[in-house]
Chain A
């Protein structure tokens, strides 16, 4: 079975650009999460979908970050416009759902904004 896949694995953007990160959850999983990982802030939740419905989006990230899930097997995270402080690893995770379900993480996208 395929795990969570994320593309691209690496992205370099100029300040002010729009970038779109992609995620395919594990087949059959109902919940999908987008996280940002930095050494300083650790793992920060950006968005949480349950059965394609947006359940939570990290308040601090609302203005330039937009996650969408148009179907159960694909999600995107758009950052517009990018800023150098957005440089981080962006992780997508999925789970079957239900309280305490194990989250399976993708390999991440390392974003560098110049």
Chain B
């Protein structure tokens, strides 16, 4: 079945450091890929998405590129801020009969220190 694997956290960085959170997936067909962020005490919010191979999703300085050849969708940010501290989830939607349904990775806790 479909699955998403994220790098284990927690990840602790200093402000302005470079961030990479790895995400790989297994799916049949051509899934859409997402990164969600969950700030403390809040619900999940869509951070960015990509719907086909080689697409790059970007938002708030975060980027991720849909790599079909490596089945990956790694999240990157060039300079993190304290306000980026949150839990980040990689997810996929396989489409077809699983229309709308999301399969999530295990989440990665990011803590950014001043």
- Indicate, yes or no, whether A interacts with B: no
